[in-house]
Amino acid sequence: MIALSVAAVLAIFLLYTSIAGGGTPSLRPSQLDGHSGKVSLAGKVVGRPSGDAHAAGLHFVLRDVKGTTAIPVMYRGTVPDLFRTGRDVVVQGQLRNGVFVAVPGTLMTKCPSKYAPAKNS
């Protein structure tokens, strides 16, 4: 009985904090419109990244992985080893005047082939 009641209290506590505290929305470039707060953006790097991530900032363009909407991104901080054109990445930040300004150090690559290289078929 004690166990059950305490567990129930914990469960409610948990639901409360998770829903009220909320998470960070994960979006694609095409879903960015109307979001002014901090979001996590996932997309594919297109074009040539330019600039210096440890100085004025690295500039690159993220496109929907399956789509055409693209958005310019400005990023500072550590650039993962696997970052390059064509890779899927996730980065946190918010939209300011049409540019997605990233939170420093939040860029992560999602290598779809991390543990198994692409099938050479």
Partner 1 sequence: MPDLGRAALATALLLLVYAAVAGTFAAHRRRRRLAASAQNALLAAFGASAVAAATLLVALARHDFSFRYVADHTSRKLPLGYTLTAFWGGQEGSLLLWLVVLCGYGAAAVWTTRRVARDLLAWTVPVLGVIGTFFAFMLVFVASPFATQAAPADGAGLNPSLQNPYMAIHPPMLYLGYVGLTVPFAFAMGALLSRRTDERWIVATRRWTLAAWAFLGVGQLLGAHWAYVEIGWGGYYAWDPVENAALMPWLAATAFLHSVMIQEKRGMLKVWNMLLVILAFCLSLFGTFLTRSGIIQSIHSFTQSSIGPWFLGFICFVVCASLGLVFLRLPLLRSKTKLESLVSREATFLYNNLLLVALSLTILWGVVYPLVSELVRGETSTVSKPYYNFFLHTFGLPLLLLMGIGPLVAWRRASFRALGRTFLWPLAVAVVAGVILLAVGAGSSRVGVIAYTFSIFVLASIALEFVRGTRARKALGSESWPGAFTALVARNRRRYGGYVVHAAVVFLAIGVAGSSVYQTVREHRLHPGGAMTVAGTRLVFRGFEQHRAPNHQAIRAVVDVYRGGKRITTLLPGKNNYFAEQQVSNEVAIRHDYADASDLFLIADQVNRDGSVDLKALQKPLVNLIWFAGFVFVGGSLIALWPDAREERRLAARYAGALAEA
What is the C-alpha separation between 80 and 88, in angstroms, rounded? 12
DSSP secondary structure code for residue 38 in this structure: -
* Contacting residue, 8, 16, 24, 85, with partner 1 by CB under 8 A: 24
Which residue lies nearer to partner 1 by CB, 9 or 97?
9
Minimum distance of partner 1 from residue 21's CB (angstroms): 7
Please name the residues in contact with 107: beta carbons below 8 A apart, sequence gap of 6 or more. 75, 77, 78, 79, 80, 83, 89, 90, 91
Cα separations in angstroms, 35 against 3, 94, 115: 42, 8, 34
What is the C-alpha separation between 109 and 23, in angstroms, rounded? 20
What is the C-alpha separation between 21 and 9, in angstroms, rounded? 17
* Contacting residue, 20, 22, 34, 37, with partner 1 by CB under 8 A: 22
Per-residue binding letters, 35-74, with partner 1 (x by CB under 8 A): -----x-x---------xxxx-------------------
* Contacting residue, 70, 74, 90, 103, with partner 1 by CB under 8 A: 90
* Contacting residue, 64, 78, 94, 101, with partner 1 by CB under 8 A: 78
Q: Which residues bind partner 1 (CB under 8 A)?
A: 2-3, 6-7, 10-11, 14, 17-18, 21-27, 31, 40, 42, 52-55, 78-79, 81-82, 90, 108-120
